Amino acid sequence: MRAPPREAAVMPPHVRFVALSLGLLVLAPCGARAASSEPAVAPIDALLARSAAAWNRGDLTAFMQSYERSPDTVYISSHAVIHGYDAIRTHYATAHPGALGTLTFSGLAVRPLGADYAVAVARWHLAMADGTRPTGLFSLVLHRTPAGWKIITDHSP
């Protein structure tokens, strides 16, 4: 006797997009970029440099300018999925109420996914005033908007 068919799990569109994006990134040869993708890399690198500079100044408002100001923007940590620009800002303000430390990135790899989307993967490093040096990996899904590239999904466990 056959078991009844299971219903397919329905993933929200942003989760499907992230899964597809990360799958494409994994399938791509390391370090390979099509010549047409190069124009996306420099602006995303600049966006992340501005983001780190704002973090290092302790300027959460400027740091959040890297994110698309939308209720659909998502932040995924090791503990929660946070939906919406305002909720993400509140998360950062609550999780980092004092000195933010000095943020740097290493190993940045950007993979364009068409003309208006890209995935960025790197390692973040924090140097805190107390001498601790937390580090971790992140992946970002970015969207080219009229205001420039913006983070629409941040996976920083």
Task: Summarize pLDDT for 42-87 with one digit per residue, the tens.
Answer: 999 999 999 999 999 999 999 999 999 999 999 999 999 999 999 9
- CATH code of 37-155, in short, is 3.10.450.50
Looking at residue 39, its pLDDT comes to: 63
Phi and psi at 114, nearest 5°, equal 95, -170
Alpha-carbon gap, residue 137 to 57, rounded angstroms? 22
Q: Residues 134, 114: contact at Cβ < 8 Å?
A: no
Q: 95 falls in which pLDDT band (50, 70, 90)? A: confident
Tokens for 148? 């420039």
pLDDT at position 38: 57
* Nearest alpha carbon to residue 109 among 76, 81, 137: 137
**pLDDT, tens only, 121-145:** 999 999 998 999 999 999 999 999 9
Cα(75)–Cα(64) distance, rounded to whole angstroms?
12
pTM over 0.85: no
Residue with tokens 């983070």: 151
Question: Rounded to an integer, what distance in angstroms lies between the CA atom of residue 59 and that of residue 100?
Answer: 9
pLDDT at 15: 41
Residue 157: what pLDDT?
Answer: 82
Q: Say whether pLDDT at 14 is over 70.
A: no
- Say what percent of the chain tops pLDDT 70: 75
Biggest alpha carbon–alpha carbon distance for the chain = 65
Greater pLDDT, 95 or 21:
95
Q: Where are the domains of the chain?
A: 37-155
Higher pLDDT, 92 or 14: 92
Indicate whether 12 pLDDT > 90: no
Q: Please report the pLDDT score of residue 34 as a whole number.
A: 37
